[in-house]
């Protein structure tokens, strides 16, 4: 079985972001660079409480620093439509517009809509374009799962943006404007709204993501109850020490993007966390730590491979998502039918 099928390219992302264990050191550097750049104490305490002019999303931050989404009102334009070789899957190139910029997405869905049993809004990892998941999306659709891969801003695909740079994100936050990080989360929520508009409320729609995409998806699932649950693959929360004098603004910003802030808010909706013990980018115990913060119903599985979604993860999700029996087993604690291999929670 091939592993590491999703190759992550980090571009201009600070190298220390490649493992969460090093993030605490990075955050200290970020804060220092913000001071050097001239952010005053007053600016550090500012939080963006509204979107910019013309932007089609509305949100606020709680006093603690958690995002609250009021809603999205993106415009949607369906572009080129093609079909899988066997004619069973329709593939649509979609453009979503937030009022100021276009976001590309790739959608694969069964031609016979009655065969759709679930949907996935998927956020690829850093440096991976949505189109890289074309074959995966077709495989899911052939099995009855609508698969929508959102082209993440700054990942180098068709959607404009800059590679993830925490220093710059914090500077934007400190100025009281919307960071790109937030916009990516809202893109996922807008994608959910689009699929729900086609299939209605009966189709369960999951926020899913691999690596850093899993972090965006976790926040989206928590702040948008239109999602039936969350799937995190090779992902984790951020490691960060709060309470350092003078870093109140940084504390709030990190809370606002940290999956650890949100994972417990997804319950009673489903949570699935999958991680490889051989992951060299985000340590296995960090993924397990995210799982431990989630409420029930939830499942944690170790898969064979390296970092990122692979064929083994695909098979698990195809067996599980939209499977009423698997969900009931998960809620009852038996987990029978979720995974055909030996349970791996002991690793």
Domain definitions of the chain by residue range? 15-332
Cis bond upstream, residue 268 (ω within 30): yes
Which pTM does this prediction carry? 0.84
Q: Specify the pLDDT at position 119.
A: 98
- Cα of first residue to Cα of last residue in the chain, in angstroms, is 21
CA 257, CA 247: separation in Å to the nearest integer? 16
* CATH number given to 15-332: 3.40.50.1820
Q: Where are the alpha helices (DSSP H) in 85-179?
A: 134-142, 166-174
What confidence score (pLDDT) does residue 246 get?
67
337 by Cβ neighbours in 10 Å (0-12 / 13-18 / 19+) ranks as middle
The tokens for 39 are 């952010």
Amino acid 333: pLDDT: 72
Phi, psi for residue 329 in degrees, rounded to 5: -65, -40
The reported pLDDT for the residue numbered 234 is 98
CA distance 300 to 283: 15
Nearest 5 degrees, angle CA 196-CA 231-CA 266?
A: 75
Rounded CA gap, 91 and 96, in Å?
Answer: 16
- Look at residue 6 in the predicted model and tell me its pLDDT: 47
- What pLDDT was estimated at residue 335? 59
Per-residue pLDDT of the chain (347 residues; tens, 9 = 90+): 333 444 443 333 333 333 333 444 344 444 333 322 323 233 333 344 445 556 789 999 999 999 999 999 999 999 999 999 999 999 999 999 999 999 999 999 999 999 999 999 999 999 999 999 999 999 999 999 999 999 999 999 999 999 998 889 989 999 999 999 999 999 999 999 999 999 999 999 999 999 999 999 999 999 999 999 999 999 999 988 887 766 778 889 999 999 999 999 999 999 999 999 999 999 999 999 999 999 999 999 999 999 999 999 999 999 999 987 777 777 777 654 444 443 333 22
């Amino acid at each position: 079985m091939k592993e590491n099928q999703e190759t992550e390219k980090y571009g201009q992302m600070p190298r220390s972001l490649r493992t969460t264990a090093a993030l605490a050191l990075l955050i200290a550097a970020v804060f220092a660079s913000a001071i050097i750049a001239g952010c005053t104490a007053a600016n550090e305490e500012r939080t963006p409480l509204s979107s910019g002019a013309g932007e089609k999303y509305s949100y606020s931050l709680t006093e603690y620093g958690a995002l609250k989404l009021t809603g999205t009102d993106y415009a949607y334009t369906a572009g080129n439509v093609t079909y899988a070789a066997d004619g069973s899957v329709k593939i649509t190139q979609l453009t979503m517009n937030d009022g100021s910029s276009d976001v590309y997405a790739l959608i694969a869905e069964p031609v016979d809509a009655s065969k759709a049993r679930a949907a996935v809004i998927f956020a690829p990892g850093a440096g991976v374009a949505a189109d890289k998941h074309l074959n995966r999306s077709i495989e899911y659709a052939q099995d009855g799962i609508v698969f929508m891969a959102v082209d993440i801003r700054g990942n180098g695909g068709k959607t404009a943006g800059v590679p993830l740079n925490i220093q710059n994100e914090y500077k934007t936050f400190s100025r009281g404007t919307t960071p790109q990080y937030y916009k990516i989360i809202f893109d996922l929520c807008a994608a959910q709204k689009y699929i729900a508009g086609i299939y209605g409320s009966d189709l369960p729609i999951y926020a899913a993501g691999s690596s850093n995409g899993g972090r965006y998806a976790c926040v989206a699932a928590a702040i948008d109850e239109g999602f039936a649950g969350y799937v995190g693959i090779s992902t984790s929360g951020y490691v960060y020490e709060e309470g350092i004098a003078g870093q109140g603004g940084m504390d709030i910003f990190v809370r606002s993007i940290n999956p650890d802030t949100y994972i417990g808010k997804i319950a009673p909706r489903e949570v699935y966390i999958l991680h490889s013990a051989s992951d060299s980018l985000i340590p296995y115990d960090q993924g397990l730590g995210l799982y431990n913060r989630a409420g029930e119903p939830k499942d944690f599985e170790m898969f064979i491979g390296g970092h990122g979604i692979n064929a083994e993860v695909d098979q698990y999700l195809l067996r599980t998502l939209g499977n009423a029996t698997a969900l009931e087993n998960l809620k009852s604690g038996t987990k029978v039918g979720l995974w055909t291999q030996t349970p791996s929670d002991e690793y």
